[in-house]
Structure 1
């Protein structure tokens, strides 16, 4: 193989770093010729803590073999492996969002410290894909994301059950609608095989976003974990990364403003998780891409309706979406409103990639002109309660609810709010405000999704609205307004809400307001006490010091987009 690009991993003979690394790698079995080949990191978040990751070692082997066959040298590196349904057990899930950014830095330390030439990133649970996209944008070395697939459910009691059903049924158990034996039986059947949660939750949504950005091979998302199809994509990615290194095609040539707009429109059209906004925003910031992601979501809502109905948005399962054409099929339908001239990791444009894809099954992926629902799947709402915006997964809100007015019931601890459901203290028609749960307030963003699941399980999902600055699950359904910006801990208006205040949510107008005069609201905000010091130690305390506002993607440290659109 002839290298057309000087490899940064090939050090000058006779230097200290050449000598010590040569000694290390010869002892590991590298040959003389290997020192002149591209050195590729295979970023593997394999973990025995979670089913999301249990298959990644096998995927990694396939990628490494393909890299060797293409004439390069693979180096597997391991990272932290956050799992939303395992890592969330401690401190009400406060470790989840901070672990995204820990993973970004984990990759930087190993890839930049070793000055490797490229990366293949094995994506799985919710935080790994955004973290890997963020790392690719930050390091700007040739990179490919391999989305490693979803798990399957099975049958229980004559009905299909998966992790979404288990999640919702916890609330049904607490409301005494099902027995503990029934819930226990469901847990025995909900997950059959490795991979991320079934449904269009955050993991599968972000897998689709990696492909929509052009950072994963076309057709890779969604895909069944452990399948022969996944292994074939892994082998293709191993070969493709060597080509990207040889051609010096880097993430910032791919993760352009146009690519982010494509991803946003895809997210809105398929009804992706509410969490994709913060993650795409963070990836854009790390890539120093000059785009207002929040504004892009607002703009996209004017152009696209909902073209899929994948759970929790409707009856179709994630495997139905995959079989119908997946993300590529959706983008093929959306092509008239996408910039298909953008470059992708295939080395070709999006237009060229989509031309090779079969027509999607329109029973599952509707045409752009005939969407399943004319309204967008994701929207941004604003108002005096969320001046910087908040996110609503409109596709998961009951269709008959587009305006909701009710008295506020304020909680600053999710456990207290769940207890209020169990004690029947949350009235139908109320607006539950869960605050001080954001990145700074947590610190670390409390995983408020459990409350929403409990609410739905108790039969209140279409009768009670929830407004929060905490983190939600992509599996959540109901009248949920998430990622309220600014968060309460930053002195946002959410911190000024009092029990009984009237909250007006109008999803037709994309607004959320507190029925207070501007002066009264201003006075309340001015009277708020300063944020008290956190009692947390270790990583969460450091995170609070470093984390930026939600409107900046909750990235760490003050960084901003500095590339101009002309540099795309």
Structure 2
């Protein structure tokens, strides 16, 4: 569609369902009237799908019932017709073994719901970790105009005069609890004070990372990702999403015009500058591949070497939380600081360029959002490692670990399962030193199954009691974006499918050299070959259902853990149904 050209009502996608004088369209119109609508409610108007990931088991989205009404108000104000469709919630807190097992299910559901229903455009309501990439991946493939509505972070946690950050302080105080330094009453108080409103984790965890990435990609209203869930501004933003998507439909502003190579690079730069979650690696690569953008681990590492971390927000920062980030100017202000490094010509959902959206953005607290001359950390949030333990890559978050581990050599202490590891680290008689390298394997995309957030292995109790709070840990799992420490994650290929991590043995010397971006086991190649020959593959995790399909088709971490048959290069999309 040519620039500045507006659709007419007959050009609407929904007109194919409601417009023709035939039996099928008669049925469609009749069923809408059954719902209490007159023809003038839905004919010749953009039909806007509101894909709502609300659930009573998703506290991050506890406000989405009300926010959907705000979106509907905006759609109606702009002359559209809103319809709310419930979507898979993929909550982070309660889903076992991991919500990552179901990200691709949400992506498939999103794509197919859009394709199979009379929707001209969609508002995607998400925020909890996997909902953002899942919704965006599906909508990118479906190809209709879309706008993302982020849930927003919860308010700061509080207990006994202390400010608490969800996730990050849970790990911190749990170690103190294990050391015997926190009473039952204190533990109960922390439990009740660490998450005290609706919204996502208020640290720069995976939820805030992914909504910031989507914001920087141009898929949200400018700065929408920073607004706290409980703030009245969040309601106003929701209504504006409803108004904006209607105009996007009339101008045919589809996601392929927004999610370009430049937009993906912008998103990666901003992720690094915010101190992003390690999970950003898996999700950003998957989103880029859905958009047909060639973006790899090496691209991320290149940007990580040159992008300063300027958001002083936990866990990579030391002092502040997302509410403080919002008051300091939010993501627009941070992006303004990074403007010279961004492709500001990229188009956004506003119909304007990224540069136009950043006009007037101001930093109000330069300790929360640092100037480039005074970063929290001189490089970005993430680094890519390669070596004989991870030939296809592994990821570490240098700013969130003790610098003494940036170059480290020590004996491996290997665990083949999470229960085995958990039992061992709680044994106060475990023979372990601070120089040991804890290794958890068989926890990747297929081995986990689903690549659970087990990668921040707990410090052994014996070391906790000696005062140690960090050590080098390696896993083919992920870790929560609120986690921290010297944790090497996403080892690819994973141990379960025969990656080199499967061949490591307790007592082998492991060496990490972060400046050189290396991770190796110091075992000669002949011995590694002997171990590979003797390896017995594990039994399949699933014999049926979703888990079986997941195991058959999930790609490895370096490819984004999407399904091979859903990626852009696998084949053309089915397109809009033409049988009516």
- The TM-score with structure 2 as length reference comes to 0.91
In the other structure, the counterpart of 1:24 is 31
- Aligned residue for 2:158, secondary structure, equals strand
Report matched runs for 1:42-441 at 5 Å.
42-87=50-95, 90=96, 93-94=97-98, 96-164=99-167, 165-289=169-293, 291-313=294-316, 314-359=318-363, 361-424=365-428, 425=430, 426-441=432-447
**1:557 and 2:564 aligned:** yes
CA distance in 1, matches of 2:172, 2:305: 32
Tell me the alpha carbon deviations over residues 124-152 of structure 1, each in whole angstroms, 9 at most, x when there is no partner.
Answer: 21111111111121111100001111112
Contact 1:285–1:559 (CA under 8 A) maintained in structure 2 = no
**1:448 and 2:449 aligned:** no
Tell me the alpha carbon deviations over residues 350-391 of structure 1, each in whole angstroms, 9 at most, x when there is no partner.
Answer: 111111323453221122343222122211111111111111
Structure 2 runs not aligned, ≥5 long: 1-5, 571-580
- Aligned residue for 1:243, secondary structure, equals helix
Q: 1:287 to 1:317 in 2, by over 3 A?
A: same
- Aligned residue for 2:399, secondary structure, equals helix
CA distance in 2, matches of 1:453, 1:253: 47
Q: 1:169 to 1:122 in 2, by over 3 A?
A: same
CA distance in 1, matches of 2:542, 2:217: 39
Q: Mean Cα displacement is larger for which, 548-557 or 417-426?
A: 417-426
Contact 1:107–1:135 (CA under 8 A) maintained in structure 2 = yes
Q: Mean Cα displacement is larger for which, 278-287 or 442-451?
A: 442-451
Aligned Cα RMSD in Å? 2.2
CA distance in 1, matches of 2:289, 2:468: 35
CA distance in 2, matches of 1:231, 1:65: 11
Tell me the alpha carbon deviations over residues 217-249 of structure 1, each in whole angstroms, 9 at most, x when there is no partner.
Answer: 111122211211111111111111111111111
CA shift, 1:450, in A, is 6.4
CA distance in 2, matches of 1:459, 1:280: 39
CA distance in 2, matches of 1:461, 1:368: 33
CA shift, 1:395, in A, is 1.7
**1:10 and 2:18 aligned:** no
Structure 1 runs not aligned, ≥5 long: 564-568
Report matched runs for 1:499-518 at 5 Å.
499-518=506-525
CA shift, 1:169, in A, is 2.3
Q: 1:472 to 1:53 in 2, by over 3 A?
A: same
CA distance in 2, matches of 1:401, 1:118: 49
Q: 1:562 to 1:374 in 2, by over 3 A?
A: same
CA shift, 1:415, in A, is 2.5
CA shift, 1:325, in A, is 1.9
CA distance in 1, matches of 2:186, 2:340: 48
CA shift, 1:449, in A, is 5.0
CA shift, 1:412, in A, is 1.9
Contact 2:440–2:455 (CA under 8 A) maintained in structure 1 = no
- State the number of aligned residues: 557
CA shift, 1:534, in A, is 2.1
Contact 1:136–1:143 (CA under 8 A) maintained in structure 2 = yes
Tell me the alpha carbon deviations over residues 480-537 of structure 1, each in whole angstroms, 9 at most, x when there is no partner.
Answer: 0111111112221111111111111111222211112234334433432234222565
In the other structure, the counterpart of 2:576 is none
Tell me the alpha carbon deviations over residues 379-414 of structure 1, each in whole angstroms, 9 at most, x when there is no partner.
Answer: 111111111111111121123432121111111222
Q: Mean Cα displacement is larger for which, 293-302 or 48-57?
A: 293-302
- Aligned residue for 1:483, secondary structure, equals coil
In the other structure, the counterpart of 1:566 is none
